Amino acid sequence: METDYDVAIIGGGIVGLAQAWMAARRGYKVAVFEKTSIAQGATVRNFGMIWPIGQPAGELYEVAKRSREFWLELADAGALDVETCGSIHLAHKEDEMQVLQEFVDQQTHPATLISPAEICQRSGLVNPEGLLGGMVSDTELRVDPRTAAERIHRWLAREFSVQFHFETLITAINGNEILSSDRQRWNVGRIIICSGSDLHTLYPEHFAKSSLVLCKLQMLRSVAQAKPLPENIPHIASGLTLRHYTSFNACPSIDLLKQRIKTESPELDQFGIHVMASQFQSGEVILGDSHEYGKDISPFDKIEIDELMIRELKQVIRLNDWTVKEKWHGIYAKHPDLPVYEEQINPTVSLFVGTGGAGMTMSFGLAEKYWKKR
Ligand SMILES: Cc1cc2nc3c(=O)[nH]c(=O)nc-3n(C[C@H](O)[C@H](O)[C@H](O)COP(=O)(O)OP(=O)(O)OC[C@H]3O[C@@H](n4cnc5c(N)ncnc54)[C@H](O)[C@@H]3O)c2cc1C
């Protein structure tokens, strides 16, 4: 039977877009099916940080670097703006400085230690009070999460003739046929489900056995800060983030740091708070974040979490105006061990879900790996 498309992607977030791009690059006729009128999931709710420094040395770091190349390729092609801003990890405590020293000594990631004076020269956001030093890395990138998915979808449509079916909820798959809630049908060669945190509409019985857990993150955006601003303002990560990103697990002193926070500030562990800041050319700063898993996820946001984040942020960064312009939360699916949960349901259908807190960083590289195996 003649097919409408060689490849159908269900879900128009960054994971689905990455799959669409990698399939289209191989010459396939591709369509993306997205239930909303424009992507509204984790892909538009994140920091917009492309964050290779958070990936442990080895295969995951290589995938992150490969993804980074793809983001730069998109920028070169005029698809969207990508800032080569890099990142600075701050140490306001001795044990944070010790972990950064150990990380740099391992020489697994191109990062160097810098003095408080150098940090303040590179970023006007940093609070110099009590600052012991920090670590600078050039590999991190910034994209605008509010517009990135839309820009990529327009580019894929223009350059690769990828077809986008928005406001199309896929409710069933029968063999090679996909069906939408408004009773449309398409015949396709292959189906890749990139449904983000929606683990219930399609193949819920497979997701139930997958070990994927949902995680909710609260986020804030400040009003625009005073201008003029330099270009490429580095992302800022506080010492608290060292206990979150697995790249630092290789540092011998990380357990002592984790233990200190657990003892001194159990409320930070309770809500998975580790603070970061990213300033855009508009002057606004995205601030976050917290992590509540599984059963703790409520539809309502906790003011207590916002207050704790601001308390911690004020210790590490300075804003002219701390007025919060927007608050929101995002939810992602995460696998405890894998960078993405892949399952081949049958010869036609696969699941490709669960990039956790690193989907912007990893999706292109992971999708490339997926297609190399085919
Ligand atoms: C607050 C927050 C901050 C983050 N910060 C970063 C960061 O700075 N850097 C980083 O690398 N990662 C970050 N992440 C992680 C990253 O955003 C996610 O890993 C990534 O966006 C997941 O992409 P996705 O395409 O799987 O999911 P989504 O973006 O949620 O997209 C899934 C899409 O599938 C659609 N869909 C689902 N089911 C169907 C169906 N049956 N039919 C049609 N459409 C369907 C949904 O409508 C949705 O648009 C962050 C995440 C959050 C929540």
pLDDT tens, 187-246?
999 999 999 999 999 999 999 999 999 999 999 999 999 988 999 999 999 999 999 999
In angstroms, the CA 275 to CA 332 distance is 18
In angstroms, the CA 221 to CA 288 distance is 9
Its pTM surpasses 0.95: yes
Please give the biggest Cα pair distance in the chain: 69
Do residues 99 and 220 both lie within one domain? yes
CATH label of the domain that carries residue 361: 3.50.50.60
Ranges of the chain with pLDDT below 50 = none
Do residues 221 and 284 both lie within one domain? yes
- If one residue of 32, 36, 47 were mutated to test the ligand 1 pocket, choosing by the most ligand atoms within 8 A of its CB, it would be 47
**Residue 373, CA distances (Å) to 65, 346, 367, 369, 370 in order:** 19, 16, 10, 7, 6
Any domain includes 54: no
Locate the ligand 1 atom nearest the alpha carbon of residue 197 and give its number.
30
Cα-to-centroid distance, 43 and ligand 1 (Å):
4
Locate the ligand 1 atom nearest the alpha carbon of residue 360 and give its number.
11
Residue in the structure block whose two tokens are 């939810």: 331
Any domain includes 293: yes
Do residues 304 and 343 both lie within one domain? no
Do residues 109 and 247 both lie within one domain? yes
CATH label of the domain that carries residue 325: 3.30.9.10
Cα-to-centroid distance, 121 and ligand 1 (Å):
35
Cα-to-centroid distance, 265 and ligand 1 (Å):
30
Q: 121-138: b or e for each residue (b if 16 or more CB lie within 10 Å)?
A: ebbbbbbeeebbbbbbbe
Do residues 160 and 243 both lie within one domain? no
Dihedral angle over CA of 255, 258, 260, 266, nearest 10: -150
Cα-to-centroid distance, 357 and ligand 1 (Å):
9
> How many C-beta atoms lie closer than 10 Å to residue 95's C-beta?
18
3 state DSSP class of 20? helix
In angstroms, the CA 45 to CA 271 distance is 18
Do residues 303 and 165 both lie within one domain? no
Do residues 99 and 226 both lie within one domain? yes
In angstroms, the CA 109 to CA 102 distance is 12
Q: Name the token pair of 45.
A: 């709710």
For ligand 1, atom 45, the nearest C-alpha belongs to: 11
The dihedrals phi and psi of 30, each to the nearest 5 degrees, come to -120, 145
Do residues 298 and 249 both lie within one domain? yes
Any domain includes 310: yes
Cα-to-centroid distance, 250 and ligand 1 (Å):
28
Measured from CB, residues less than 6 Å from any atom of ligand 1 are: 10-16, 33-36, 39-43, 45-49, 51, 169-170, 194-198, 201-202, 217, 219, 289, 330, 332, 355-361
Any domain includes 72: no
Asked whether 180 and 274 are in contact (CB, 8 A), the reply is no
Locate the ligand 1 atom nearest the alpha carbon of residue 33 and give its number.
43
Asked whether 34 and 16 are in contact (CB, 8 A), the reply is yes
In angstroms, the CA 363 to CA 201 distance is 22
Q: What pLDDT, in 10s, does the model give residues 353-364?
A: 999 999 999 999
The dihedrals phi and psi of 325, each to the nearest 5 degrees, come to -90, -35
Cα-to-centroid distance, 330 and ligand 1 (Å):
8
Any domain includes 71: no
Any domain includes 277: yes
Q: What residues form DSSP beta bridges with 186?
A: 178
The range of the structural domain enclosing residue 267 comes to 87-138+213-334
Do residues 258 and 279 both lie within one domain? yes
Q: Name the token pair of 107.
A: 């020489």
Amino acid at 236: I
Any domain includes 119: yes
pLDDT at 115: 98
- If one residue of 217, 276, 355 were mutated to test the ligand 1 pocket, choosing by the most ligand atoms within 8 A of its CB, it would be 355
Do residues 158 and 302 both lie within one domain? no
In angstroms, the CA 76 to CA 57 distance is 27
Q: Name the token pair of 325.
A: 């312009």
The H or E element spanning position 170 is strand 170-174
Cα-to-centroid distance, 197 and ligand 1 (Å):
7
Rg (CA), the chain: 21
Do residues 122 and 21 both lie within one domain? no
Where are the alpha helices (H) located in the chain, listed in sequence order? Answer: 14-25, 42-45, 59-76, 94-106, 116-122, 148-160, 204-208, 254-264, 266-270, 303-316, 359-372
> Domain count of the chain?
2
Locate the ligand 1 atom nearest the alpha carbon of residue 331 and give its number.
53
Any domain includes 325: yes
Do residues 245 and 133 both lie within one domain? yes
- If one residue of 33, 195, 278 were mutated to test the ligand 1 pocket, choosing by the most ligand atoms within 8 A of its CB, it would be 195
